[in-house]
Structure 1
């Protein structure tokens, strides 16, 4: 699989990162994800500016050359090399050794349906809590994600709900959580431990502009999640995953499916 490394298109197995560049191996990087659909980068400006904001929070220098046009051109080059017009673009920018500009890697991950049709069972992971802070809402390396993901694998779950220091719902390993109850849709804010998400920002705009649902960001308890009509996870990397089971509660996904179809149309306008 071809990738872009610092404006060079190479085979993935040719990527060599010196072990002395321990910033990469210690997780000193930021990620950004953008969906490529029908040769169009969805919400590209949002993705770019969120990526730059994450670099500032991480105190990674931003070279003047790191313009939206630079990354957009590199993505176009890579999509042409891969002969694809659809996929999930992943941009990783990591801090280099002192006095060297940061490096970047661009990948186009295999195309997948934005709406995940498989059964998705989740549970609450309580062993480690999220303490909301300046970095907790960024798409960066989070050790908790790796540990909780392994817990999910061991328990044959597709994802797990992560709690904050107040024992309220923060997010899941994969993304942000949304609950549907009657005509109300609720999602935890970043102050509760949710992730800064381009898709979430635009999904909220879609709900408010194009639907009759009432949306609000508010704290959610694990008990409230079990009483919802429908439950889904929105992930910049993985799309929209309807949750079908949380412990003994089985959720429908009819409203979620219909909203997703409308959101895709809205995103392509």
Structure 2
């Protein structure tokens, strides 16, 4: 089942022939994690979505409050009987009409959900090897920081990773600095410093990125920096890890010939789980 503009429908009834997100990538989305019918980091997701819609000059309906946002997501997760541990996505797109120039800035939304195996965030101890993806670069500009429905770089990088037996790839911007991973922000630990690229480098303004920065700042011996990361820096790091709302923290175990520890990743993951209301 899906939630289409507040109505629960079978997913087979939804058509894409005039959907501007499908035709032009004219849409934004949020992916949320739900535990025991509670949306994690609800306020952060809501305000990022509102900011993205304003940047794309979408008309935000008067009734689209945070409470409405929460209600509509729970409507479909409850309909699908998967509110205990759930991944839900809300896609907002401009209504049909026009070509590159839209006929309207009003919006529609579509929400779907799938169950998750685990409620709490868990550390994956499997080997996790990454490399750089250099075929296409991320632009250092505002649109790169948004979750728009145009993610072709992430798609081609995912295919490259699969073809080369990698678990992930790291994306670069036009300055050849490391921006993020395919599906999450990148963090680097060196001695007592935690570093992640600033949003100005073109990385996603990630919800989990925000949580990890806040948690790390509470660790007395750790200095937290938002600074550019070069590929050369990766070779010096003690740890590398990727963050997103669904996975939490994914440690990287190998980049080329360098292998990494995971102690700090586990420490922050424990702090993250302590913050979650279950």
Q: TM-score of the superposition, structure 1-length normalised?
A: 0.92
- Please name the residue that 1:132 is paired with: 140
In structure 2, distance between residues paired with 1:268 and 1:146 = 33
In structure 2, distance between residues paired with 1:243 and 1:175 = 12
Alignment partner of 1:123 out of 123, 131, 145: 131
**1:165 equivalenced with 2:174 (yes/no):** yes
On the 8 A contact 1:24/1:95 being kept in 2, the answer is no
In structure 2, distance between residues paired with 1:162 and 1:100 = 32
**1:101 equivalenced with 2:110 (yes/no):** no
SS, match of residue 143 in structure 2: coil
In structure 2, distance between residues paired with 1:128 and 1:144 = 7
On the 8 A contact 2:134/2:172 being kept in 1, the answer is yes
SS, match of residue 64 in structure 2: coil
C-alpha displacement of 1:208: 1.3
For structure 2, the 5+ residue unaligned runs are 97-102
SS, match of residue 136 in structure 1: helix
Alignment partner of 2:265 out of 247, 256, 267: 256
Q: 5 Å matches for 1:66-85?
A: 66-83=64-81, 84-85=83-84
SS, match of residue 119 in structure 1: coil
Supply the RMSD in Å over aligned alpha carbons: 1.9
- Please name the residue that 1:32 is paired with: 30
Offset from partner CA, 1:153-181 (integer Å, 9 cap, x none): 11111111111111111111111100111
On the 8 A contact 1:90/1:109 being kept in 2, the answer is no
Offset from partner CA, 1:56-107 (integer Å, 9 cap, x none): 1111211112111112112222222222221122111011123473111112
For structure 1, the 5+ residue unaligned runs are none
In structure 1, distance between residues paired with 2:20 and 2:106 = 15
In structure 2, distance between residues paired with 1:209 and 1:250 = 27
Paired residue total? 267
On the 8 A contact 2:123/2:269 being kept in 1, the answer is no
**1:233 equivalenced with 2:242 (yes/no):** yes
C-alpha displacement of 1:199: 1.4
Moved over 6 A (4+): none
In structure 2, distance between residues paired with 1:231 and 1:99 = 44
Q: 5 Å matches for 1:160-239?
A: 160-210=169-219, 212-239=221-248
